[in-house]
Structure 1
Amino acid sequence: MSDKMQRIPFEKMLTWITKELKEKESIFGVHKDKFYYNETGKSITLFNKKLASPLGPAAGPNSQLAQNIVCSYLTGSRFIELKTVQVIDGEDITVAKPCINAQDEGYNVEWSTELKVSEAFDEYVKAWFLLHVLMKELKFDKERDFMFNMSVGYDLKGIKSPKIDAYIEGMRNASSTEIWRECKETLLSHIDMFDEFTKEDLEDISPIICSSITISTLHGCPANEIEGIASYFLEEKGLYTYIKMNPTLLGEKFVRETLIDMGYDYIVLNGEHFINDLQYSDGVTMLKRLKMLAKKLKLEIGVKLTNTLPTKIINNELPGEEMYMSGRALFPLSISLASKLAKEFDGDLQISYSGGADFFNIDKILSTGISPITFATSILKPGGYERITQMAKKVEKQLDCKLSGINIEILEDLAKQAINDKHYRKELRLVNSRKLNSNLKVYDCAIAPCTKGCPINQQIPQYVVLVGEKKYDEAFSVIAIDNALPAITATICNHKCQSKCTRLDYDESVLIRDLKKIAVLNAQDKFTLAIKSADIRTGKKVVVIGAGPAGLSTALFLRRNGVDVTVRDKKESAMGVVEHVIPEFRISSEMIKKDFEMIKKQGVKFEFSIDENLSLNELKKEYDYVVLAIGAWKPGKISLSDCENKAISAISFLEKYKKQKGKISLGKNVCVIGGGNVAMDAARVAKRVSGVEKVSIIYRRTKKYMPADNEEIELVISEGILLKELLSPISIKDGKLTCEKMILGDSDASLRRSSIGTGEITMVDTDTVIIATGEKIDSHLLRQNEMNLDSNNFPIVNEKLETNIANVYVIGDLKKGPSTIVNAIADAKTVTKDILIKEGLSSDFKLKSSCFNEKILYDRKGILEDPKSIEKEAGRCLSCNKICELCVDVCPNRANVAIKVNGDFASTHQIVHLDGMCNECGNCGIFCPHKGNPYKDKITVFWSKEELENSENKGFFIENIKKGICLIRTEEGRIINYTIGKDTAISKEMVSVIQTCIDKYDYML
């Protein structure tokens, strides 16, 4: 496999487009439902030319090949900023691979097109012709409604070289070039392919491809060099000119502080660029001179804001030492620079904008008078090119023919708002990666990351669809298959499923937990009433020690599968921490009762207030299996000198508060040490205690790195509780908590930064200190019962959670210390399955199939929106278990293709990879939920025998399509000859894929 893109001949591209449109109602995978039509007839005028939309791809991976430009145009791009060309090209240019990482804020290590300059020119001319054809054939408009803008770099010497000069002259008038003649002759000889595009239309295509240019210079380029290039384009070439400017103009202090304020404190800047790059005052002076020159020449000079921000590579995000940041983290910087420059020129400045532009801000940017607007990172994410359609429709009504300068007041307000806009702050997407531990399969790879991310593998898309259809009884039946505590988890689950939701790469996760709660409130009581205790299917008995979430879940799962189960607990009632510790304002007793009633109805037996020392030997005389689920109740330890016995454990405090209904005394000032959910609970409860005036949470890192759920932290803040960050407690004495001030250290691979002591001491007033740093298990009790423990005094268990004592299991918090409720349920499923297997019993953990409307799911692709109401949340679910195709969405070159196959597959939707259209940018691997890379791991379609032989990819090359003769690299890596219809050693699945490609997708072979 080569990382070199192959250019598709113009005639083949024509055939491809027309055939795919006719047979699949799509072009390069973009479905016709996503084609953009300007329904209002509104437009803008730029450089005396009409634009039906002021939007388009920024110079980058989405504007370097003809098919990329076609896809952009189809979905609403009308200002096409072509990828930068420069004198070093083709084989001479070195681009590290992978070169793109758009996981959240975007990064790249590209500089310009990887093609030769002459090849890039050919691609742009081909695209120019194709867009004219499509405009007429698809009835987008009657006259040209789009514009190309060329981008060149990086110094005046290179720009004046014969190679780049020929490129510029060709773009100014391509009529004498070979590719122009080829395209024109090809269209003329194939004119009968079209219904709307005529010979007259062909003759009317202007050879003036670009009348405008964007200057892209390298970091450190001096002001006089930039001005010289701009003057050259204005005076010598007569081109409308934009100068690309960098965020470094804002100064290192502003950039650094803004990024830190927005939560991107892990981004490491290179201070040298702020010193060596163009300085703000020099840039303003230069622009003033150039504006005077442009006015004299009756041309226009403007700025392109902004170039990407250079940052250091510290966590192997991409190869090399420096990468260039783009996307949502760049928006507040770029728009701030736009505001600063617009004010400098009293609004009289032409600004072409790029820098975190997306659906959520595109209308706001346009309302300032800025136009055109380009984007890159947004369309490198799931939804891909189809995101453009939504943006184009959103701004259509704002279009107003003539640009009339910048409204500096509106722009200034937008710049101020950007820093606090949730869409651009890091908190919106704190998860580092949505990837799962699963390996990417060759076939049938569609998966619901939410289901796999959930410890109990809830069948989330299935019940979300049903809730959306208001089929609450059916939805709850699906939930109850895997979840023994649906009401509790619908209220206080830490919803790890939502950290894997594909919508995180669009906007925000589907509110899965809230949708579960709708089903619970509407259907659980009815479900419980209908339960009939299952018949006992085995003579063996199970005892569960501990009636908390883990123990009760095990009891329910075993009992409903026909096993006799008894639950014992030393407390007077069930549900452990949930019932006795977690405050009522977090979860009501009514919700807890719903789950307990459901468990009781299954026929589980209970023994409470059992005050006995645990003896496994005695228990095994009466029971065949013992499941230990006694939790972690011992107070956690912290290195804190307490001279006055003012420190109490969070768990004991919360239990006492709940038992005594709040009638306790803490004094006026309370400090809570810790950053998890228990710490948040303790702080909120302390705030409710009579006599308490101030509650502070002491944490050694910053709010961003607290392990507590973000919503819990926000609730704490909303209740007036103080977050005292970067403090490490030392001692309590005389009503003072002595703390050492900390600073943040380096980030680890998960982007979590360490805390480092400064030696500086500070005091915090306190009457009571509540320690919420994690409870401990009773390892002494386990050791007494001859259970093997590890070096951390946790029980040693196998993958089935069985200890060294046969048929004795350890689950829940007892296993490794405090964990989550849903992890406890997961342990219960594991143990249940093992016991059922041992007893030769079948399990009722069955996968539910679900109906889905394929068109509806495809319609949701590329559509961004904020959560509005719980009732509408189901409509945001993408049902990734049915249709994924993220690798198709995010590939700029359309090198990954979804095909519909017949054969022995779980799904008719399969992915193939087109080797010739791939440059190994790596973007598909970033967004694939599995481990692996689609461009390496999927069946590859090769366009030459040599490419197959030089690759390690499994795939095929069609040597003779009529005779069905192929060369194949099998899934096992063997290269063999194969003829369609003849017996061979290749798999049935590969045969089906090859046959499908020949029968239905021959245009891409």
Structure 2
Amino acid sequence: MSEFMRPIPFKDLIEWSLKEYNNEGSIFGIKKEKFYINKKGTKLKTVFGDEISSAVGPAAGPQSQLAQNILVSYLTGARFIELKTVQKLDGEDIQKAVAKPCINSEDECYNCEWSTELTVKEAFNEYIKAYFAIIAIAKELDISDKKDFAYNMSVGYDLEGIKSEKVDTYIESLKNAENTDIFKECKSYLLDNISKFEKFNEKDLESIDPIVCDSITLSTLHGCPAEEIEKIASYLIEEKHMSTFIKCNPTMLGYDYARKTLDDMGFDYISFTDYHFKNDLQYEDAVVMIERLLKLAKEKDLAFGVKLTNTFPVDTKRGELPSEEMYMSGRSLLPLTLSMAAMLSEKFDGKLPMSYSGGADARNIKDIFEALGQPITVATTILKPGGYLRFNQLAEETEDLLQDELRDVDVEKIVKLRDDTIASWENNKLYREKVHSRKTDSVLPLTDCYKAPCKDGGCPIEQQIPEYLKLVAEGNFDKAIEVIANDNTAPTILGKLCAHYCQEHCTRVDYEKSLQIRNMKLIAAENAQEAYLEKIEKSEIKSDKKVLVIGAGPGGIAVASYLRRNGIKVDVREKLSKAYGIVSHIIPEFRISDKDIDKDYQIAVKQGVNFIFDSEVTESYEELKKDYDYIIAATGAWEKGRSPVKEGSENILDALDFLWDVRMKGSANVGKKVAVVGAGDVAMDCTRTAARLDGVEEVALVYRRTEAYMPATQEEVNDVKEEGHKIYELVAPYAYDGKVLKCDKMQLGEFDDSGRRSIHTTGEKLELEFDTVIGATGARVDTTAFKENKINLDDWGNVKTTDTYETNIDNVYVIGDCRAGASTIVKAMGEAKAVCLDILDKENLPNDFVRYEEKEDKENIFSKRGKLTPALDDKSEGLRCLKCDQICEICTEVCPNRANVAINVEGFDNLNQIIHLDGMCNECGNCAFYCPHSGRPYKDKLTVFWTREDFEDSTNTGFLKLGENDYLVRLENGKVIESKDLEKDLSKKVLKLVRTIEKDYNYYIKPTEAINA
């Protein structure tokens, strides 16, 4: 595909909008139910003198680039439109200078460049087209009968460029567009086609004000001297007679403040030096400059203020984007921008007008607006799932606060908001549970690509998560536990202890907080599992084959349960005296009780699994195969971990020994002061367990990296912190003599390929006094039995298996922790499920893993899109589910240019199919980060091309319509053909897509002549 955007002619923009609205009830994919109307009639008077009907809009960035972007922003609730920055460098020159992809908004956002990639003239044309389109469509659709929005232009980056003919013409033309070609074209088209409208009329057309925008925001490059900034601002005020704001860079806060703030909030991995802090505008210089500019603007009867803030320059260290330096925005910019606002508000006693942009979203926008009282613009939040639809909530949140009289900044409120924001756990990086990408390994298909990543790639046992969330929310616990137990042999155990990979992949992570899926499973189990147990009957034997499972841990019981309920006789031999291994013998009872464990054990018992306890397997697999057709080893990882120190062994306990003693014997002698070395879930268990022992006065966790890199789930870390236990970060023990733990102080180094930072000693030493040290650095696997039975191991000492976990010995399988080291309960169960399916397949037996089907109303699903909703503590949490298993379409939401679209096509699993419009895409790459598959929608979906040049510059499967029955096509295999008979040349699925586009969405097929006009 081509990264060059092809602006849509005004005629097509209007006709596309009207036709789509009449056919689909939407405009550029935004459904009419999501069109924003301020029904309360409140207005905001901006410092520039505009009256607007909402306080929000797109920041000068990707959402204010093309006419359709601006139109969609308006329809969803934006009323203050910051036009994308123009500069002397434009068009192909800037396109060549910007590396692609140029946006990564996976969490906080990074970009390479947010200036317009069009020529200055093209940008101007886009803004005028959008201006006319908004006014006409707003009147036609009863959104507003008069102009209720405002533009704010943005220019950069130096005085010479701003004075250049093309930028000067741009400024003057926006100040009065009446004599420009595009203004005349738009007006003429509407006049000639007024009959296409029912409510927008000729009088409305004539009343359109040619003064499109008379306010301006100055964006300067980092390092621009104070004198240059003041010179430009003075020029804009005195010579251009425009109300002027200047963007202030967060570097004004000083390096130490910015570094400490981000470090304290978990963003310590964001890399930057003090370079820009030293070379950018300094606070002291800014203050005197602002004072002079305020005075100058007042003399000219104009407004002056600051735009907070510009984006923040940081170094590319983890391969975020293909550039050495990039610009940060979003939630990590929030504390810095609020700090700027508080600092300047205090200095100017609330008299300095401020337009805000920096990490605003639905959770904080009301507080920000209450404090500042001027428009708030956003970019990052609307680059995330929900996209432009998020403007609805942003506008609604601030509706009641709109005032038609100017007011000062509330200094007390903005200072408090800064302090509360920095202190709030919800704003900490780690609040999102160390989540990174929601992508999974599946290939992005050309059609039917919708998927729920929580279950399809996120959950090792592929639980039907959206289905049971809905059932729990409805209070239908009996059906919910039935759906859960279909895939999950331990509902209560996993309801309390699951590593919940599903939550890491939940789309809600990109809204506010992932669904608390594990909690909903537990609610179902607590309300319905006992009744479910009563209904279980011993399964009928359907095969003469016999299976031996060695080990009655979670994996062993799972495979036994799966097989037995599907008709195969299973014996489970366990050397311990009771079931569930690590869960029942190691994990502390305050986390899960024997009673809870027994609930799950009884499922397998009632299904007919035969358990033989106190029965260690000493026979060879060859001997065992005389009585059993299949052998499955699931013996866990019980070997002691490596010593946490290189020197000394006195009073060092292994984590498993310690936890065993407490759970099985009721106590352990550890003295008064205990250190736990490690940072996994087992280390957290050791810390909390030791603290509960009689006589223990202090427990500390010792870890060589920082909290952000702890392998434990964040909630386990939070439990340790909430209980008040000391955590020593960046401390690496090397010796212990029974009393003193000697440690090296460490520092974080560069990022490695895994995304973790390396560590290096600082050369400093630390000595800590402890009575006992518990080593929780990872249990190991006893591979003796595997070696004796000639099971192949890899170079790491792990068992080599097939994808279905079969070893080099036919019908001998290895699953769980004993296969590749200590892992999680649910992963062991996932391997158990795979083994069960493999054995059933070998025996030609059907499996009973059924899909529970209950479709939710599409309109109800769409009503949740774009709305941030706090996590709930009760069963109704499931109502937050976005039902990605029915409708995904995330790539359509996160595309700022609307280049990914969903169309209804009969004959597919899902009516909504995704296609890509090449002419509207600039390869920003944002959709690739959010697609739950491994692919990239802008590269992998069927593409509609508008020009031969773009087609030839692409590798995408897609087509260019050359004439009535003449097409240039790139097939799925990459072959390019010119076709006059699509029925013969295309696959059935591609043919359906193309014919549907031609029949129902022909406005997507742009004639070359129109593009070049």
TM-score normalized with structure 1 length: 0.98
Contact 2:138–2:145 (CA under 8 A) maintained in structure 1: yes
CA distance in 2, matches of 1:688, 1:756: 34
Contact 2:233–2:246 (CA under 8 A) maintained in structure 1: yes
Cα–Cα, structure 1 residues 770 and 237, in superposed 2: closer, same or farther, change >3 Å?
same
Q: Give, as a single letter, the amino acid of the residue that structure 1 aligns with 2:89.
A: I
- What does residue 967 of structure 2 align with? 966
Q: Secondary structure at the match of 2:767?
A: strand
Q: Give, as a single letter, the amino acid of the residue that structure 1 aligns with 2:525.
A: V
Out of 234, 255, 261, the residue aligned to residue 258 of structure 2 is 255
CA distance in 1, matches of 2:885, 2:418: 40
CA distance in 2, matches of 1:625, 1:318: 50
CA distance in 2, matches of 1:729, 1:614: 42
- What does residue 719 of structure 2 align with? 715
Contact 1:432–1:750 (CA under 8 A) maintained in structure 2: no
The worse-fitting range, judged by mean Cα deviation, of 274-283 and 731-740 is 731-740
Q: Does 1:850 align with 2:851?
A: no
Contact 1:511–1:870 (CA under 8 A) maintained in structure 2: no
- What does residue 404 of structure 2 align with? 401
- What does residue 624 of structure 1 align with? 629
Cα–Cα, structure 1 residues 990 and 696, in superposed 2: closer, same or farther, change >3 Å?
same
Deviation at 1:653, TM superposition (A): 1.2
Contact 1:432–1:751 (CA under 8 A) maintained in structure 2: no
Q: Secondary structure at the match of 1:450?
A: coil
- What does residue 301 of structure 2 align with? 298
Correspondence list, 1:352-371, <5 A = 352-371=355-374
CA distance in 1, matches of 2:532, 2:135: 61
- What does residue 53 of structure 2 align with? 52
- Residues 668-690 of structure 1 show CA distances to partners (whole Å, capped at 9, x for unaligned) of 11111111111111111111111
Contact 1:35–1:75 (CA under 8 A) maintained in structure 2: yes
- Residues 304-362 of structure 1 show CA distances to partners (whole Å, capped at 9, x for unaligned) of 11000011111221112110001110010011011111111111001011111111111
Question: What is the number of residues matched between the two proteins?
Answer: 1000
Contact 1:672–1:698 (CA under 8 A) maintained in structure 2: yes
Q: Does 1:75 align with 2:76?
A: yes
Out of 516, 523, 527, the residue aligned to residue 511 of structure 1 is 516
Contact 1:360–1:423 (CA under 8 A) maintained in structure 2: no
- What does residue 705 of structure 2 align with? 701
Deviation at 1:643, TM superposition (A): 4.7
Q: Give, as a single letter, the amino acid of the residue that structure 2 aligns with 1:845.
A: F
Q: Secondary structure at the match of 1:626?
A: strand
- What does residue 25 of structure 2 align with? 25
Q: Secondary structure at the match of 1:621?
A: coil
- What does residue 678 of structure 1 align with? 682
- What does residue 549 of structure 1 align with? 554
Q: Does 1:536 align with 2:553?
A: no
CA distance in 1, matches of 2:649, 2:324: 53
Q: Does 1:327 align with 2:330?
A: yes
CA distance in 2, matches of 1:612, 1:378: 57
- What does residue 381 of structure 1 align with? 384
Deviation at 1:470, TM superposition (A): 2.1
CA distance in 2, matches of 1:643, 1:290: 69
CA distance in 2, matches of 1:829, 1:809: 12
Deviation at 1:207, TM superposition (A): 0.3
Q: Secondary structure at the match of 1:118?
A: helix
Contact 2:644–2:677 (CA under 8 A) maintained in structure 1: no
Q: Give, as a single letter, the amino acid of the residue that structure 1 aligns with 2:971.
A: T
CA distance in 1, matches of 2:490, 2:412: 54
Contact 2:979–2:985 (CA under 8 A) maintained in structure 1: no
- What does residue 588 of structure 2 align with? 583
- What does residue 476 of structure 1 align with? 481
Contact 1:245–1:304 (CA under 8 A) maintained in structure 2: yes
Q: Does 1:239 align with 2:242?
A: yes
Correspondence list, 1:353-752, <5 A = 353-429=356-432, 430-451=434-455, 452-611=457-616, 613-638=618-643, 640=645, 643=648, 645-662=650-667, 664-752=668-756
Q: Mind listing any 5+ residue stretches in structure 2 that lack a counterpart? A: 1006-1013
- Residues 116-162 of structure 1 show CA distances to partners (whole Å, capped at 9, x for unaligned) of 11111111111111111122112223322111111011111111111
- What does residue 788 of structure 1 align with? 792
Q: Secondary structure at the match of 1:859?
A: helix
Contact 2:779–2:822 (CA under 8 A) maintained in structure 1: yes
Deviation at 1:404, TM superposition (A): 1.1
Q: Does 1:989 align with 2:982?
A: no
Q: Does 1:342 align with 2:345?
A: yes
Cα–Cα, structure 1 residues 639 and 581, in superposed 2: closer, same or farther, change >3 Å?
closer
Q: Secondary structure at the match of 2:19?
A: helix
CA distance in 2, matches of 1:644, 1:852: 60
- Aligned-residue Cα RMSD (Å) equals 1.4
CA distance in 2, matches of 1:422, 1:747: 25
Deviation at 1:979, TM superposition (A): 4.6
Deviation at 1:468, TM superposition (A): 1.9
- Residues 917-971 of structure 1 show CA distances to partners (whole Å, capped at 9, x for unaligned) of 11111111111111121111101111234432332111112233xx444332211
Cα–Cα, structure 1 residues 354 and 983, in superposed 2: closer, same or farther, change >3 Å?
closer
Contact 1:956–1:967 (CA under 8 A) maintained in structure 2: yes
Deviation at 1:563, TM superposition (A): 0.5
Contact 2:453–2:506 (CA under 8 A) maintained in structure 1: yes
Q: Give, as a single letter, the amino acid of the residue that structure 1 aligns with 2:354.
A: I
- Residues 207-263 of structure 1 show CA distances to partners (whole Å, capped at 9, x for unaligned) of 001110000111111111111111111111111100011001111111111111111
Deviation at 1:423, TM superposition (A): 3.8
CA distance in 2, matches of 1:964, 1:65: 31
Correspondence list, 1:873-952, <5 A = 873-903=877-907, 905-952=908-955
CA distance in 2, matches of 1:793, 1:998: 59
Cα–Cα, structure 1 residues 421 and 134, in superposed 2: closer, same or farther, change >3 Å?
farther
Q: Secondary structure at the match of 1:243?
A: strand
Out of 808, 828, 841, the residue aligned to residue 812 of structure 2 is 808
Q: Does 1:198 align with 2:201?
A: yes
- What does residue 1010 of structure 2 align with? none
Q: Give, as a single letter, the amino acid of the residue that structure 1 aligns with 2:797.
A: N
Contact 2:855–2:886 (CA under 8 A) maintained in structure 1: no
CA distance in 2, matches of 1:36, 1:409: 32
Out of 255, 264, 268, the residue aligned to residue 265 of structure 1 is 268
Cα–Cα, structure 1 residues 909 and 111, in superposed 2: closer, same or farther, change >3 Å?
closer
Contact 1:665–1:690 (CA under 8 A) maintained in structure 2: no
- Residues 490-548 of structure 1 show CA distances to partners (whole Å, capped at 9, x for unaligned) of 11101011001111111110111111112212222222221222221111111111111
- Residues 788-825 of structure 1 show CA distances to partners (whole Å, capped at 9, x for unaligned) of 22233222222221222222111111101211100110
Out of 218, 221, 225, the residue aligned to residue 222 of structure 1 is 225
Contact 2:307–2:355 (CA under 8 A) maintained in structure 1: yes
Q: Mind listing any 5+ residue stretches in structure 1 that lack a counterpart? A: none
Q: Does 1:146 align with 2:129?
A: no
- What does residue 65 of structure 2 align with? 64
- What does residue 870 of structure 1 align with? 874
Contact 1:614–1:781 (CA under 8 A) maintained in structure 2: no
Deviation at 1:111, TM superposition (A): 4.4
Deviation at 1:467, TM superposition (A): 1.7
- What does residue 831 of structure 2 align with? 827
Contact 2:644–2:775 (CA under 8 A) maintained in structure 1: no
CA distance in 2, matches of 1:21, 1:134: 10
- What does residue 119 of structure 1 align with? 122
The worse-fitting range, judged by mean Cα deviation, of 412-421 and 74-83 is 412-421
Q: Give, as a single letter, the amino acid of the residue that structure 1 aligns with 2:602.
A: E
CA distance in 2, matches of 1:856, 1:713: 36
CA distance in 1, matches of 2:38, 2:77: 8
Q: Secondary structure at the match of 1:898?
A: strand
- Residues 456-514 of structure 1 show CA distances to partners (whole Å, capped at 9, x for unaligned) of 11121121122222222222222112111111101110101100111111111011111
CA distance in 2, matches of 1:990, 1:786: 51
Contact 1:328–1:423 (CA under 8 A) maintained in structure 2: no
- What does residue 1011 of structure 2 align with? none
Q: Give, as a single letter, the amino acid of the residue that structure 2 aligns with 1:489.
A: L
- Residues 74-117 of structure 1 show CA distances to partners (whole Å, capped at 9, x for unaligned) of 11111111001111111222221111111111111114111111
- Residues 400-421 of structure 1 show CA distances to partners (whole Å, capped at 9, x for unaligned) of 2112111111111111111123
Identity %: 50
CA distance in 1, matches of 2:480, 2:781: 37
The worse-fitting range, judged by mean Cα deviation, of 223-232 and 759-768 is 759-768
